[in-house]
A and B are shown apart, each in its own frame.
Chain A
Amino acid sequence: MCLQESLSNVYYVSSKTINKLIQVHDRIFCCIAGSLADAQAVTKAAKFQISFHSIQMESPPLVKAAASVLKELCYNNKEELQAGFITAGWDRKKGPQVYTVALGGMLLSQPFTIGGSGSTYIYGYADAKYKPDMSKEECLQFATNALALAMGRDNVSGGVAHLVVITEEGVEHVVIPGDKLPKFHNE
Protein backbone atom coordinates (compact mmCIF):
# COMPACT_ATOMS: atom_id res chain seq x y z
CA MET A 1 0.00 0.00 0.00
CA CYS A 2 1.36 3.43 -0.62
CA LEU A 3 0.28 7.00 -0.19
CA GLN A 4 1.59 10.42 -0.84
CA GLU A 5 1.43 12.45 2.32
CA SER A 6 0.19 15.92 1.57
CA LEU A 7 -2.80 17.70 3.02
CA SER A 8 -4.19 20.81 1.46
CA ASN A 9 -7.07 23.11 2.09
CA VAL A 10 -8.31 25.36 -0.70
CA TYR A 11 -5.47 27.90 -0.72
CA TYR A 12 -2.33 26.22 0.50
CA VAL A 13 -0.76 22.94 1.36
CA SER A 14 -1.21 22.51 5.12
CA SER A 15 1.28 19.75 5.48
CA LYS A 16 3.58 17.62 3.40
CA THR A 17 4.05 14.89 5.97
CA ILE A 18 0.60 13.76 7.07
CA ASN A 19 0.13 10.08 7.86
CA LYS A 20 -2.60 8.77 5.60
CA LEU A 21 -1.92 5.10 6.16
CA ILE A 22 -3.90 4.13 9.24
CA GLN A 23 -3.40 0.74 10.85
CA VAL A 24 -6.80 -0.65 11.83
CA HIS A 25 -5.50 -4.01 12.97
CA ASP A 26 -2.27 -6.03 13.13
CA ARG A 27 -2.33 -6.97 9.46
CA ILE A 28 -4.89 -4.53 8.05
CA PHE A 29 -4.20 -0.98 6.89
CA CYS A 30 -6.38 1.74 5.44
CA CYS A 31 -5.41 4.43 2.93
CA ILE A 32 -7.55 7.50 3.46
CA ALA A 33 -8.61 10.07 0.88
CA GLY A 34 -11.07 12.94 0.68
CA SER A 35 -11.79 15.01 3.75
CA LEU A 36 -9.03 14.05 6.16
CA ALA A 37 -11.13 15.05 9.15
CA ASP A 38 -13.96 12.73 8.10
CA ALA A 39 -11.55 9.94 7.24
CA GLN A 40 -9.78 10.17 10.57
CA ALA A 41 -13.07 10.12 12.46
CA VAL A 42 -14.32 7.12 10.50
CA THR A 43 -11.11 5.13 10.86
CA LYS A 44 -11.04 5.81 14.57
CA ALA A 45 -14.55 4.36 14.94
CA ALA A 46 -13.74 1.48 12.60
CA LYS A 47 -10.54 0.65 14.46
CA PHE A 48 -12.50 0.29 17.68
CA GLN A 49 -15.22 -1.84 16.10
CA ILE A 50 -12.73 -4.10 14.35
CA SER A 51 -10.70 -4.55 17.50
CA PHE A 52 -13.83 -5.46 19.49
CA HIS A 53 -14.99 -7.83 16.75
CA SER A 54 -11.60 -9.52 16.69
CA ILE A 55 -11.67 -10.08 20.45
CA GLN A 56 -15.20 -11.52 20.26
CA MET A 57 -14.23 -13.84 17.41
CA GLU A 58 -11.05 -14.83 19.25
CA SER A 59 -9.12 -14.57 15.99
CA PRO A 60 -7.64 -11.82 13.79
CA PRO A 61 -10.32 -10.14 11.68
CA LEU A 62 -10.83 -10.90 8.01
CA VAL A 63 -9.81 -8.06 5.70
CA LYS A 64 -13.31 -8.29 4.25
CA ALA A 65 -14.81 -7.78 7.69
CA ALA A 66 -12.67 -4.68 8.29
CA ALA A 67 -13.62 -3.28 4.89
CA SER A 68 -17.30 -4.02 5.62
CA VAL A 69 -17.14 -2.12 8.89
CA LEU A 70 -15.78 0.92 7.05
CA LYS A 71 -18.39 0.50 4.36
CA GLU A 72 -21.23 0.46 6.90
CA LEU A 73 -19.94 3.66 8.47
CA CYS A 74 -19.59 5.35 5.08
CA TYR A 75 -22.94 4.19 3.73
CA ASN A 76 -25.01 4.92 6.81
CA ASN A 77 -23.54 8.41 7.13
CA LYS A 78 -23.19 9.23 3.47
CA GLU A 79 -24.97 12.60 3.82
CA GLU A 80 -22.41 13.92 6.26
CA LEU A 81 -19.18 12.26 5.14
CA GLN A 82 -16.77 12.83 2.29
CA ALA A 83 -14.13 10.17 2.65
CA GLY A 84 -13.00 7.20 0.63
CA PHE A 85 -10.76 4.34 1.69
CA ILE A 86 -8.58 1.61 0.36
CA THR A 87 -8.48 -1.26 2.85
CA ALA A 88 -5.83 -3.87 2.35
CA GLY A 89 -4.14 -6.52 4.39
CA TRP A 90 -3.58 -10.17 5.03
CA ASP A 91 -5.79 -12.75 6.73
CA ARG A 92 -5.52 -16.46 7.27
CA LYS A 93 -8.58 -17.34 5.18
CA LYS A 94 -7.91 -15.61 1.84
CA GLY A 95 -4.38 -14.29 2.19
CA PRO A 96 -3.58 -10.82 0.80
CA GLN A 97 -6.58 -8.77 -0.37
CA VAL A 98 -7.43 -5.24 -1.49
CA TYR A 99 -10.83 -3.59 -1.06
CA THR A 100 -12.05 -0.15 -2.13
CA VAL A 101 -14.67 1.68 -0.12
CA ALA A 102 -15.89 4.56 -2.28
CA LEU A 103 -17.46 7.85 -1.18
CA GLY A 104 -21.07 6.70 -0.93
CA GLY A 105 -20.23 3.40 0.71
CA MET A 106 -19.62 1.03 -2.21
CA LEU A 107 -17.42 -1.92 -1.31
CA LEU A 108 -15.43 -3.63 -4.04
CA SER A 109 -12.73 -6.27 -3.98
CA GLN A 110 -9.99 -5.75 -6.55
CA PRO A 111 -6.55 -7.17 -7.35
CA PHE A 112 -5.19 -3.62 -7.15
CA THR A 113 -6.68 -0.17 -6.90
CA ILE A 114 -5.73 3.51 -6.96
CA GLY A 115 -7.42 6.49 -5.40
CA GLY A 116 -7.14 10.14 -4.45
CA SER A 117 -6.77 13.31 -6.50
CA GLY A 118 -3.52 12.26 -8.15
CA SER A 119 -4.89 8.88 -9.20
CA THR A 120 -6.56 10.29 -12.29
CA TYR A 121 -3.12 10.83 -13.83
CA ILE A 122 -1.97 7.26 -13.39
CA TYR A 123 -4.90 5.10 -14.44
CA GLY A 124 -3.21 4.36 -17.74
CA TYR A 125 0.12 3.60 -16.12
CA ALA A 126 -1.40 1.33 -13.49
CA ASP A 127 -3.54 -0.60 -15.96
CA ALA A 128 -0.61 -1.07 -18.32
CA LYS A 129 2.05 -1.98 -15.77
CA TYR A 130 0.10 -4.16 -13.33
CA LYS A 131 0.57 -7.89 -13.60
CA PRO A 132 -0.83 -10.49 -11.20
CA ASP A 133 1.46 -12.45 -8.85
CA MET A 134 4.27 -9.91 -8.70
CA SER A 135 7.06 -10.39 -6.18
CA LYS A 136 7.44 -8.02 -3.23
CA GLU A 137 10.21 -6.07 -4.98
CA GLU A 138 8.23 -5.76 -8.23
CA CYS A 139 5.22 -4.61 -6.27
CA LEU A 140 7.20 -1.98 -4.39
CA GLN A 141 8.67 -0.73 -7.66
CA PHE A 142 5.25 -0.58 -9.32
CA ALA A 143 3.79 1.36 -6.39
CA THR A 144 6.71 3.74 -6.10
CA ASN A 145 6.70 4.51 -9.82
CA ALA A 146 2.93 5.06 -9.83
CA LEU A 147 3.18 7.44 -6.89
CA ALA A 148 6.11 9.33 -8.36
CA LEU A 149 4.25 9.87 -11.63
CA ALA A 150 1.11 11.04 -9.84
CA MET A 151 3.00 13.37 -7.55
CA GLY A 152 4.82 14.75 -10.56
CA ARG A 153 1.65 15.83 -12.31
CA ASP A 154 -0.88 16.60 -9.55
CA ASN A 155 -0.44 20.05 -8.02
CA VAL A 156 -1.97 19.07 -4.67
CA SER A 157 0.02 15.85 -4.34
CA GLY A 158 3.58 15.67 -3.17
CA GLY A 159 5.81 15.58 -0.16
CA VAL A 160 6.69 12.14 1.13
CA ALA A 161 5.83 8.71 -0.25
CA HIS A 162 4.81 6.21 2.45
CA LEU A 163 4.64 2.54 1.62
CA VAL A 164 3.63 -0.41 3.79
CA VAL A 165 4.28 -4.06 3.00
CA ILE A 166 1.90 -6.45 4.80
CA THR A 167 2.58 -10.18 4.93
CA GLU A 168 1.72 -13.06 7.20
CA GLU A 169 5.00 -12.50 9.01
CA GLY A 170 4.52 -8.83 9.71
CA VAL A 171 4.36 -5.25 8.53
CA GLU A 172 7.22 -3.25 6.96
CA HIS A 173 7.16 0.52 6.45
CA VAL A 174 9.05 2.22 3.63
CA VAL A 175 9.26 6.02 3.57
CA ILE A 176 10.67 7.80 0.54
CA PRO A 177 11.12 11.58 0.62
CA GLY A 178 9.95 13.38 -2.53
CA ASP A 179 13.42 14.12 -3.84
CA LYS A 180 14.47 10.45 -3.62
CA LEU A 181 11.61 9.19 -5.79
CA PRO A 182 12.33 7.80 -9.26
CA LYS A 183 12.51 10.54 -11.90
CA PHE A 184 10.69 10.41 -15.19
CA HIS A 185 11.10 12.46 -18.34
CA ASN A 186 8.81 15.28 -17.23
CA GLU A 187 11.24 16.38 -14.53
Chain B
Amino acid sequence: MSSIGTGYDLSASTFSPDGRVFQVEYAMKAVENSSTAIGIRCKDGVVFGVEKLVLSKLYEQGSNKRIFNVDRHVGMAVAGLLADARSLSEVAREEASNFRSNYGHNIPLKYLSERVAMYVHAYTLYSAVRPFGCSFIFGSYDQDDGPQLYMVDPSGISFGYWGCAIGKAKQAAKTEIEKLQMKDMTCRELVKEVAKIIYIVHDEVKDKAFELELSWVGEVTNGKHELVPKDIRVEAEKYAKDSLEEEDDSDEDNM
Protein backbone atom coordinates (compact mmCIF):
# COMPACT_ATOMS: atom_id res chain seq x y z
CA MET B 1 0.00 0.00 0.00
CA SER B 2 1.24 3.49 -0.66
CA SER B 3 2.06 5.68 2.30
CA ILE B 4 2.12 9.45 2.46
CA GLY B 5 5.52 11.07 2.97
CA THR B 6 4.24 14.08 4.87
CA GLY B 7 7.13 16.45 4.82
CA TYR B 8 9.89 14.00 3.92
CA ASP B 9 8.79 13.74 0.33
CA LEU B 10 9.35 17.27 -0.87
CA SER B 11 12.76 16.73 -2.39
CA ALA B 12 14.97 13.92 -3.52
CA SER B 13 17.68 15.06 -1.17
CA THR B 14 15.70 14.07 1.93
CA PHE B 15 15.47 10.65 3.58
CA SER B 16 12.39 9.72 5.58
CA PRO B 17 12.84 8.41 9.14
CA ASP B 18 12.32 4.87 7.89
CA GLY B 19 15.07 5.24 5.34
CA ARG B 20 13.13 5.86 2.13
CA VAL B 21 13.55 8.49 -0.53
CA PHE B 22 9.94 9.24 -1.39
CA GLN B 23 10.62 11.20 -4.54
CA VAL B 24 12.21 8.13 -6.11
CA GLU B 25 9.26 6.00 -5.06
CA TYR B 26 6.85 8.53 -6.54
CA ALA B 27 8.85 8.42 -9.76
CA MET B 28 8.31 4.66 -9.84
CA LYS B 29 4.57 5.27 -9.41
CA ALA B 30 4.72 7.39 -12.55
CA VAL B 31 6.03 4.34 -14.38
CA GLU B 32 3.22 2.23 -13.02
CA ASN B 33 0.67 4.63 -14.49
CA SER B 34 1.92 4.01 -17.98
CA SER B 35 0.94 1.11 -20.20
CA THR B 36 2.91 -2.11 -20.15
CA ALA B 37 6.16 -2.89 -21.90
CA ILE B 38 7.87 -6.28 -21.81
CA GLY B 39 11.20 -7.62 -22.95
CA ILE B 40 12.19 -11.27 -23.16
CA ARG B 41 15.55 -12.80 -23.95
CA CYS B 42 15.63 -16.11 -25.75
CA LYS B 43 18.21 -18.48 -27.15
CA ASP B 44 19.17 -16.35 -30.16
CA GLY B 45 17.86 -12.85 -29.52
CA VAL B 46 15.66 -10.42 -27.60
CA VAL B 47 12.04 -9.46 -28.32
CA PHE B 48 10.27 -6.32 -27.04
CA GLY B 49 6.52 -5.82 -26.88
CA VAL B 50 4.77 -2.59 -25.91
CA GLU B 51 1.06 -2.01 -25.34
CA LYS B 52 0.53 1.46 -26.78
CA LEU B 53 -2.81 2.84 -25.62
CA VAL B 54 -4.58 4.79 -28.34
CA LEU B 55 -6.11 7.79 -26.65
CA SER B 56 -7.66 9.29 -29.73
CA LYS B 57 -8.75 8.09 -33.16
CA LEU B 58 -6.98 11.11 -34.60
CA TYR B 59 -3.54 9.70 -33.79
CA GLU B 60 -1.49 8.65 -36.78
CA GLN B 61 -0.88 4.92 -36.72
CA GLY B 62 2.70 4.02 -35.84
CA SER B 63 3.53 7.36 -34.31
CA ASN B 64 4.27 7.91 -30.64
CA LYS B 65 6.93 5.23 -30.57
CA ARG B 66 7.82 3.57 -27.29
CA ILE B 67 10.72 1.51 -28.64
CA PHE B 68 13.92 3.28 -29.64
CA ASN B 69 17.12 2.34 -31.38
CA VAL B 70 20.06 3.27 -29.22
CA ASP B 71 22.69 1.82 -31.51
CA ARG B 72 22.57 -0.54 -34.41
CA HIS B 73 22.62 -3.57 -32.13
CA VAL B 74 20.75 -2.12 -29.11
CA GLY B 75 17.05 -1.46 -28.64
CA MET B 76 15.25 0.27 -25.76
CA ALA B 77 11.61 -0.12 -24.72
CA VAL B 78 10.26 2.46 -22.25
CA ALA B 79 7.43 3.00 -19.79
CA GLY B 80 6.58 6.09 -17.75
CA LEU B 81 6.87 9.75 -18.64
CA LEU B 82 7.63 9.61 -22.35
CA ALA B 83 9.36 12.97 -22.50
CA ASP B 84 11.83 11.80 -19.84
CA ALA B 85 12.31 8.55 -21.72
CA ARG B 86 13.02 10.31 -24.98
CA SER B 87 15.69 12.54 -23.50
CA LEU B 88 17.30 9.52 -21.83
CA SER B 89 17.34 7.68 -25.13
CA GLU B 90 19.51 10.53 -26.43
CA VAL B 91 21.83 10.08 -23.44
CA ALA B 92 22.07 6.37 -24.17
CA ARG B 93 22.78 7.07 -27.83
CA GLU B 94 25.61 9.44 -26.97
CA GLU B 95 27.11 6.90 -24.58
CA ALA B 96 27.07 4.23 -27.24
CA SER B 97 28.48 6.59 -29.82
CA ASN B 98 31.31 7.85 -27.59
CA PHE B 99 32.21 4.31 -26.65
CA ARG B 100 32.58 3.32 -30.29
CA SER B 101 34.57 6.45 -30.99
CA ASN B 102 36.99 5.75 -28.14
CA TYR B 103 37.29 1.98 -28.24
CA GLY B 104 36.50 1.03 -31.81
CA HIS B 105 33.81 -1.59 -31.15
CA ASN B 106 30.14 -1.96 -30.18
CA ILE B 107 29.29 -1.02 -26.63
CA PRO B 108 28.61 -4.07 -24.42
CA LEU B 109 25.06 -3.87 -23.10
CA LYS B 110 25.98 -4.35 -19.46
CA TYR B 111 28.25 -1.33 -19.63
CA LEU B 112 25.71 0.81 -21.50
CA SER B 113 22.95 0.05 -19.03
CA GLU B 114 25.29 0.77 -16.10
CA ARG B 115 26.25 4.13 -17.60
CA VAL B 116 22.62 5.12 -18.22
CA ALA B 117 21.68 3.89 -14.74
CA MET B 118 24.47 6.06 -13.28
CA TYR B 119 23.03 9.06 -15.13
CA VAL B 120 19.51 8.34 -13.89
CA HIS B 121 20.85 7.87 -10.36
CA ALA B 122 22.54 11.28 -10.44
CA TYR B 123 19.11 12.89 -10.67
CA THR B 124 18.02 11.22 -7.44
CA LEU B 125 20.65 12.99 -5.38
CA TYR B 126 19.71 16.67 -5.53
CA SER B 127 16.75 18.82 -4.59
CA ALA B 128 17.29 21.08 -7.58
CA VAL B 129 16.15 18.40 -10.03
CA ARG B 130 13.53 15.69 -10.00
CA PRO B 131 14.19 12.00 -10.69
CA PHE B 132 13.38 10.64 -14.15
CA GLY B 133 9.89 9.17 -14.23
CA CYS B 134 10.56 6.29 -16.56
CA SER B 135 11.94 2.76 -16.61
CA PHE B 136 13.49 1.17 -19.61
CA ILE B 137 14.46 -2.20 -20.91
CA PHE B 138 17.59 -2.49 -23.04
CA GLY B 139 18.18 -5.42 -25.33
CA SER B 140 21.01 -6.31 -27.66
CA TYR B 141 22.50 -9.17 -29.62
CA ASP B 142 26.14 -9.78 -30.31
CA GLN B 143 27.95 -12.63 -32.04
CA ASP B 144 30.19 -13.37 -29.07
CA ASP B 145 28.17 -12.38 -26.03
CA GLY B 146 24.81 -13.53 -27.43
CA PRO B 147 21.52 -11.89 -26.48
CA GLN B 148 21.45 -9.56 -23.44
CA LEU B 149 18.56 -7.91 -21.60
CA TYR B 150 18.89 -5.19 -18.93
CA MET B 151 16.36 -3.06 -17.10
CA VAL B 152 16.95 0.37 -15.55
CA ASP B 153 14.48 1.92 -13.11
CA PRO B 154 14.10 5.50 -11.77
CA SER B 155 16.22 4.77 -8.72
CA GLY B 156 19.18 4.24 -11.01
CA ILE B 157 19.88 0.54 -10.67
CA SER B 158 20.25 -1.86 -13.54
CA PHE B 159 19.84 -5.61 -13.55
CA GLY B 160 20.18 -8.28 -16.21
CA TYR B 161 17.15 -10.40 -16.95
CA TRP B 162 15.83 -13.26 -19.01
CA GLY B 163 12.44 -11.58 -19.03
CA CYS B 164 11.03 -8.43 -17.48
CA ALA B 165 7.97 -6.20 -17.54
CA ILE B 166 7.37 -2.54 -16.67
CA GLY B 167 4.22 -0.45 -16.51
CA LYS B 168 0.73 -0.88 -15.15
CA ALA B 169 0.28 -4.60 -15.74
CA LYS B 170 3.80 -5.64 -14.87
CA GLN B 171 2.76 -8.15 -12.22
CA ALA B 172 0.36 -9.96 -14.54
CA ALA B 173 2.93 -9.84 -17.33
CA LYS B 174 5.66 -11.23 -15.09
CA THR B 175 3.42 -14.14 -14.15
CA GLU B 176 2.88 -14.93 -17.83
CA ILE B 177 6.57 -14.53 -18.63
CA GLU B 178 7.54 -16.94 -15.87
CA LYS B 179 5.47 -19.62 -17.56
CA LEU B 180 7.66 -19.47 -20.68
CA GLN B 181 10.73 -21.59 -21.30
CA MET B 182 12.51 -18.75 -23.02
CA LYS B 183 15.99 -20.25 -22.90
CA ASP B 184 14.90 -22.89 -25.42
CA MET B 185 12.89 -20.66 -27.72
CA THR B 186 13.92 -18.87 -30.88
CA CYS B 187 12.98 -15.28 -31.71
CA ARG B 188 10.31 -16.36 -34.19
CA GLU B 189 8.53 -18.46 -31.56
CA LEU B 190 9.00 -15.77 -28.94
CA VAL B 191 7.44 -12.98 -31.01
CA LYS B 192 4.10 -14.79 -30.92
CA GLU B 193 4.33 -15.36 -27.18
CA VAL B 194 5.19 -11.71 -26.52
CA ALA B 195 2.18 -10.59 -28.55
CA LYS B 196 0.02 -13.04 -26.63
CA ILE B 197 1.20 -11.73 -23.27
CA ILE B 198 0.46 -8.14 -24.20
CA TYR B 199 -3.00 -9.12 -25.33
CA ILE B 200 -3.55 -11.04 -22.09
CA VAL B 201 -2.53 -8.20 -19.78
CA HIS B 202 -4.40 -5.52 -21.71
CA ASP B 203 -7.40 -4.37 -19.73
CA GLU B 204 -10.37 -4.16 -22.14
CA VAL B 205 -12.57 -2.45 -19.60
CA LYS B 206 -10.36 0.38 -18.41
CA ASP B 207 -8.40 1.04 -21.59
CA LYS B 208 -10.05 0.76 -24.95
CA ALA B 209 -8.03 0.48 -28.10
CA PHE B 210 -4.33 -0.26 -28.16
CA GLU B 211 -1.61 -0.67 -30.72
CA LEU B 212 0.99 -3.39 -30.30
CA GLU B 213 4.57 -2.28 -30.96
CA LEU B 214 6.91 -5.23 -31.48
CA SER B 215 10.62 -5.18 -32.09
CA TRP B 216 13.45 -7.67 -32.02
CA VAL B 217 17.18 -8.07 -32.29
CA GLY B 218 18.99 -11.34 -32.74
CA GLU B 219 20.39 -13.84 -35.15
CA VAL B 220 17.21 -13.51 -37.20
CA THR B 221 18.01 -9.84 -37.87
CA ASN B 222 21.77 -10.36 -38.08
CA GLY B 223 22.39 -8.41 -34.90
CA LYS B 224 20.41 -5.34 -35.99
CA HIS B 225 17.64 -4.01 -33.77
CA GLU B 226 14.50 -3.29 -35.79
CA LEU B 227 10.71 -3.33 -35.66
CA VAL B 228 9.26 -6.73 -36.42
CA PRO B 229 8.24 -6.87 -40.10
CA LYS B 230 4.56 -6.29 -40.75
CA ASP B 231 3.70 -9.82 -41.88
CA ILE B 232 5.29 -11.42 -38.82
CA ARG B 233 3.58 -8.91 -36.54
CA VAL B 234 0.19 -9.61 -38.13
CA GLU B 235 0.78 -13.36 -37.71
CA ALA B 236 1.79 -12.86 -34.06
CA GLU B 237 -1.30 -10.73 -33.33
CA LYS B 238 -3.52 -13.34 -34.96
CA TYR B 239 -1.94 -16.04 -32.78
CA ALA B 240 -2.48 -13.84 -29.72
CA LYS B 241 -6.13 -13.16 -30.52
CA ASP B 242 -6.82 -16.83 -31.31
CA SER B 243 -5.19 -17.97 -28.05
CA LEU B 244 -7.30 -15.54 -26.07
CA GLU B 245 -10.49 -16.77 -27.75
CA GLU B 246 -9.57 -20.37 -26.97
CA GLU B 247 -9.12 -19.49 -23.34
CA ASP B 248 -12.43 -17.64 -23.29
CA ASP B 249 -14.14 -20.66 -24.88
CA SER B 250 -12.60 -23.07 -22.40
CA ASP B 251 -13.67 -20.79 -19.56
CA GLU B 252 -17.24 -20.91 -20.84
CA ASP B 253 -17.13 -24.70 -21.05
CA ASN B 254 -15.97 -24.88 -17.46
CA MET B 255 -18.90 -22.78 -16.39
Interface residues of A (CB under 8 A from B): 53, 56-57, 62, 64-65, 67-69, 71-72, 93, 107
CB pair B101 A72 closer than 8 Å = yes
Set A57, A72, A93: member contacting B102, Cβ < 8 A: A72
| B111: A residues at CB distance < 8 A | 56-57
With known contacts A56-B111, A57-B108, A57-B111, A69–B144 Cβ distance under 8 A: no
| A64 and B105 alpha carbons, distance in the complex (Å) | 8
CB pair A62 B105 closer than 8 Å = yes
CB pair B104 A68 closer than 8 Å = yes
| A24 and B165 alpha carbons, distance in the complex (Å) | 42
| A65 and B111 alpha carbons, distance in the complex (Å) | 14
Shortest Cβ distance from A72 into B: residue: B102
| A69 and B108 alpha carbons, distance in the complex (Å) | 17
| A72 and B105 alpha carbons, distance in the complex (Å) | 13
| A53 and B105 alpha carbons, distance in the complex (Å) | 13
Interface of A (DSSP majority class): helix
Contact string, B95-121, partner A, CB cutoff 8 A, digits 1/0? 000000111110010010000000000
| A181 and B144 alpha carbons, distance in the complex (Å) | 42
What would be 7 A-B contacts, judged by CB atoms less than 8 Å apart? A62-B103, A62-B104, A64-B105, A65-B103, A68-B102, A69-B103, A72-B102
| B102: A residues at CB distance < 8 A | 68-69, 72
| A69 and B102 alpha carbons, distance in the complex (Å) | 6
With known contacts A56-B111, A57-B108, A68–B144 Cβ distance under 8 A: no
The interface size of chain B toward A, counting residues with CB under 8 Å, comes to 8
| B144: A residues at CB distance < 8 A | 93
| A107 and B102 alpha carbons, distance in the complex (Å) | 12
CB pair B104 A64 closer than 8 Å = yes
| A72 and B103 alpha carbons, distance in the complex (Å) | 9
Shortest Cβ distance from A94 into B: residue: B144
Q: Kindly list 13 other residue pairs between chains A and B, CB separation below 8 angstroms, not including A53-B103, A62-B104.
A: A56-B111, A57-B108, A57-B111, A62-B103, A65-B103, A65-B104, A67-B104, A68-B103, A68-B104, A69-B102, A72-B102, A93-B144, A107-B104
Shortest Cβ distance from A75 into chain B, in angstroms?
10
| B101: A residues at CB distance < 8 A | 72
Give residues 80-107 of B contacting A (CB, 8 Å): 101-105
Shortest Cβ distance from B100 into A: residue: A68
| A71: B residues at CB distance < 8 A | 104
| A68: B residues at CB distance < 8 A | 102-105
| A64: B residues at CB distance < 8 A | 103-105
Shortest Cβ distance from A60 into chain B, in angstroms?
13
Shortest Cβ distance from A50 into B: residue: B103
Shortest Cβ distance from B102 into A: residue: A72
Shortest Cβ distance from A64 into B: residue: B104
Shortest Cβ distance from B144 into A: residue: A93
| A93: B residues at CB distance < 8 A | 144
| A67: B residues at CB distance < 8 A | 104
Shortest Cβ distance from B197 into chain A, in angstroms?
33
